[in-house]
Structure 1
């Protein structure tokens, strides 16, 4: 495996975790305010 492929996998994982973090933040804020999305 080349280093570039590993870097691409890491950046992809980071962006996936970032999206996951955003979606959980939205869910948490909806729970707090009581407004369903």
Structure 2
């Protein structure tokens, strides 16, 4: 049970970090984002 909980916690934190980094990257390079999308 603890292993699963820890895995979920790590997953959630990682996801949040990725989203934050993506937002920062997007705000710095709006043109790049448009080209990628």
**TM-score scaled to structure 2, two decimals?**
0.76
State the 4+ residue runs in structure 1 displaced beyond 3 angstroms: none
Distance 1:28 1:5 in 2: 34
**TM-score scaled to structure 1, two decimals?**
0.76
Higher helix share: 2
What is aligned with 1:31?
28
List alignment gaps of at least 5 residues for structure 1.
Answer: none
Structure whose alpha-carbon radius of gyration is higher = 1
List alignment gaps of at least 5 residues for structure 2.
Answer: 31-37
Task: State the number of aligned residues.
Answer: 30
